[in-house]
Chain A
Amino acid sequence: MASVLIDGIDKNYGPTSVLRGVSLSIADGEFLTLLGPSGCGKSTLLRILAGLEVQDAGSISIGERAVDGRRPKRRDVAMVFQSYALYPHMTVASNMALPLRMSRLSAFQRLPLLGHLLPGTARTAAEIEVEVTRTAKSLGIGHLMARKPGQLSGGQRQRVAVGRAMVRHPAVFLMDEPLSNLDAKLRVQMRAEIKELHQRLGVTFVYVTHDQAEAMTLSDRVAVMLDGELLQVDPPQDIYADPDDRRVAEFIGSPKINMLEGVVRERGLIDLAGSTLTIEADALPGAPLTLGIRPEAFYLVDYGGPGALTGSVRMIEHMGSDLFVHLDLAGLDHPLIARLLAERAPHIVPGQTLHVGVRPDRVLLFAGDGRRLRRKVESGRASVTPIREIAR
């Protein structure tokens, strides 16, 4: 059980800067996910945490002790690798027992034949076996102990890798994209198992992934990384609904958030795509800004006018309960994607002209540099021009 403090970490490979001033505090028992596209430095940060790489600047504390310069085994962390990194020549039992053998048996006791003759070896080995068996049973791999990794399925290997990390009772679990080698169905199942494992063990988890679904479902907090920088660290729902940065808003959410360029006309009015929305913005008239609107923030209205956007339907994706409607708007090069409830939006056909309203409280405003412009939403006051709502 330990908290983790990452303070001002820099890392360069030659002229390439991989991490720039990354600082992050992880609470004891928290499940924190480092989320970002490949190449953003999240795995490097995890490897620095584990002690497999050395940072160029900054420091790492685990359990309120600085661990910089300590070897991985002295940091009380366990790591699950993307490739599982199981030793192919060892059985499942030996794979899982290795960390315990390394920590509890001396170098002499580990010698192939001679080691068994030394006092205490047999007793310690028996204790290790008991613990390994108990851990394996708790993961449902008790029957696989005599097999080698090559004889296991992907999901089973994954469990062995988790088991090898678990037997040591580490203070911090580090997981580097542990599910990315599994097929979609197994991934969802293992995701649930990892969540359960975290709840059962109650230790700190640092989990690296590029899959936002994993990050959203597993985490207490998500740390979004891009180009070696930490953009935002917040609970999943805030990362989605209240992003600090345009890049975070664009990275999270599927389908992607709609980004529309607009201009402030006057206080409370923003012109965009041939329409005017009533939205309070903390910007001077004439200032350009970007409106981020999630697909589900749209609703169907029956005629155009102020506060509504009008476009022609390019394509419809049926998702069962929802429809993703792609709308071509005048003056926009990308189609707008609106998520509408299927039952409320019948008979939409491609080519049709459609009017959609926008929930003003769901519009995210971004400045030209990508910074979020927060605004005070006055509760009780409908800030959209009242037009008759026919959907939702």
Chain B
Amino acid sequence: MSEPLALSGAPDEPSPTRGVRTFPTAAASLGRRRAFTEAMAAWTLAGPAVCFLLVLFFLPVIGVFVIALTDWQFGARTLSFVGLANFREVFADDGFRTSLLNTVIYVLIVVPGTLIPGLLIALLIESGKSCRSFYRAIHFLPFMATLTAMAIAWEALLHPTIGLVNQTLAAIGLPTANWLRDENTALPVLAVIGVWQNLGYAMVLFLAGLKSIPQDLYDAADVDGADLWLDQLRTVTLPMLGPVSMFIVIVIALRAFEAFDTIQILTQGGPGHASEVLLYTLYRESFVYLRTGYGAAVAVVFLAIVVTLTLVQARLMDRKVHYQ
């Protein structure tokens, strides 16, 4: 026990030999006291955040894990543990599998659909001299806007008869569609809206990445003979954008996995299950059908996918992209 030992050298101890013997012990005591004070300060400063993390994050996550093992229904006063029955049901359920597949398709459209045009727009803006901040601003606007309001605007645009999209298509003689009510178009259209919303964000990040590429590398490429646009893109620009691209892929993928608001407003997962994605299934099972235990199991699967994805991407990012 260190506590009594530390106190034995304290200056107020009535000891005749204090002046000679206690000096090193007093120093040790001083050191310990300082360490204690530091630890107290650290806990005081970190304490509120830790409390909030515990209450708002870790406890709910643990709660979800526990609920996933029960048959609890939202609002019910009783529940019983059913083991892994919810998970068995989740994986056997066609609706869940459709939802998972839809999510994957949605992510696979949104991520490349954001990344590649985002890069192209950033390159275009960077290569031009005038109106840079204007182009930046108009492309960034959708990201800043309230998505719910924007979804309503999209609904108006995509209206089967009076919507601008169909009227334009009809005017130039192209076939029209009931975009949000057709099971072949609902999910792709939602993904396009997802792309539209995230594009500006990716573009701004790419612009920052482009700015940080040293001019010397382009000069070296010029002297070395890699002076055509495509050669410079391959030799300098794309490799140097590696880290920022990886970051964008992770962020956009996570945002795409979390897609919910446009779907809730525009299609409610329909028609049928055609535009139902994981988060929407989770919401509907838990809060519409009140099958909270089942919903919690979906949430656990969702969490597992997202965490795995993040870890894999982070690992790849460290190994492949940082050139050290």
Contact = CB atoms under 8 A, between A and B. Distances in A.
A72 B216 contact: no
Contacts of A82: 216
A79 B223 contact: yes
A89 B323 contact: yes
Chain B interface helix/strand/loop/mixed: helix
A73 B227 contact: yes
Interface string B245-280: 000000000000000000000000000000000000
Number of contact residues on B: which range applies? 20 to 34
A51 interface: yes
Contact of B223 (A72, A150, A151): A72
Nearest to A52: B219
Contacts of B239: 87-90
Given A98-B235, A150-B323, A150-B324, A85 B225 contact: no
B214 interface: yes
Contacts of A52: 219, 222-223
Contact of A102 (B214, B219, B224): B224
B217 interface: yes
A103 B225 CA distance: 7
B242 interface: yes
A25 B235 CA distance: 35
Contacts of B187: none
A81 B216 contact: yes
A151 B227 CA distance: 27
Interface in A69-95: 71-73, 77-79, 81-83, 85-90
A151 B322 CA distance: 12
B236 interface: yes
Given A83-B214, A102-B231, A88 B323 contact: yes
Contacts of B242: 89
Contacts of B235: 87, 98
A89 B217 CA distance: 12
A148 interface: yes
B226 A102 contact: yes
Interface in A138-156: 148-151
Contacts of A150: 323-324
A99 B225 contact: yes
Interface string A7-21: 000000000000000
A85 B231 contact: no
A73 B323 contact: no
B217 A85 contact: yes
A51 B236 contact: no
B227 A72 contact: yes
19 contacts: A47-B219, A50-B219, A51-B222, A52-B223, A72-B223, A73-B225, A79-B220, A79-B223, A85-B217, A87-B235, A88-B323, A89-B242, A98-B224, A98-B225, A98-B226, A99-B225, A148-B323, A150-B323, A164-B224
